[in-house]
Amino acid sequence: MLIELGERLEPMPDVLKTDATKVPGCASSVWLYPPPSAKQGVLHFLADSNSAFTKGVVALVLATVQDQPAQKIAQTDIAELLAPFGLKHDFSPDRTRGVPNMIAKIKETAERLAAAA
């Protein structure tokens, strides 16, 4: 199911897969980029991974925040929203080690945009 979810992610252009957009600490490569939104204060992330499984985890994380106002994302406990999926318990630590770093990058972006609004 996670692999199928990952296959539905919006394609991320290779030109955006840089060290600046790479999420640290992931066993597989993960990139996360918040392009400028047409809607003021709303975040729409592009993301990708070089692993089909990890790409599914990335898609699951994004599903909790995609196309939401930055202020709302900044106040959201993303880890709590993901808890019912059992990522910490059902998968090896190598598979999910980068999830907190991805969440931190999302929250940092949301907080920065919310403060600027």
* Catalytic residue ranges: 26
Neighbours of 113 (CB within 10 A): 20
Task: Tell me the C-alpha distance between 112 and 102, whole Å.
Answer: 15
77 touches 55 (CB < 8 A): no
117 touches 39 (CB < 8 A): no
